[in-house]
Amino acid sequence: MAKLYFRYGTMGSAKTMNLLAVAHNYQQQDKNVLLIKPKLDSRFGVELIRSRAGIEKSADILVEADSVLDVNQFEGLHCILVDEAQFLSTSLIEQLRHVTIDMNIPVICYGLRTDFTGHLFEGSKRLLELCDTIEEVKTTCNFCNRKAIFNMKLINGQATLQGPTVDLGAEEKYLPACTKCYYEKLKVSEI
């Protein structure tokens, strides 16, 4: 049976660049890969999967919370790659799980584990519950050299716990932070 993977990391950990490299490797071997992303991620264009390094590919399928995957589109695939998986609904994660079981196609999901307040996203929670393999894509804290585990949100350059959970942005809005720097910058003792 094929596996369901969750490769998570903080903002700026090169998750999307890793996804695009995996897609490239499959395609170099003349293998069919399908790219999925949430429609709500329109930072670089609705259909575009783009890394901060400038590498990009068009998504094959855009999904919304209530999307029902047409498994007929998956015939002949060697792998399915999902960007920004934290934004997927529980239903979509469960559908992807069944693709691995029923169609024997590996599904590799990339995304954030937690939001800027340190709480799991819906898609990430379900992936952590269902995945065969969970891998951390590591990066260092923006402020020191320790491993980053938090996504620090900024408003006017200041760390904050305010605002909507889904608030798309890049380096201008989010930075990777270790635990120590996260709490120091927020000046809080608990989340």
- Nearest partner of 185 among 155, 160, 165, judged by Cα: 160
Mean pLDDT, range 124-144, rounded to an integer: 97
Give me the mean pLDDT over the 115-119 stretch.
94
Q: Provide the residue ranges of all domains of the chain, joining segments of one domain with +.
A: 4-136
What is the C-alpha separation between 32 and 40, in angstroms, rounded?
25
| Banded pLDDT at 172 (limits 50, 70, 90) | low
Pairing of strands 79-82, 33-38: parallel
Q: Is 84 a catalytic residue?
A: yes
Of the residues 75, 84, 94, 136, only one is catalytic, namely 84
Q: What is the arithmetic mean of pLDDT over 146-154?
A: 95
Structure confidence by residue, pLDDT tens digits, 79-105: 999 999 999 999 999 999 999 999 999
Tokens of 162: 């305010």
Residues 6+ apart with CB under 8 A from 21: none
CATH topology of domain 4-136: Rossmann fold (3.40.50)
Q: How many CB atoms lie within 10 A of CB 66?
A: 8
Global pTM reads: 0.91
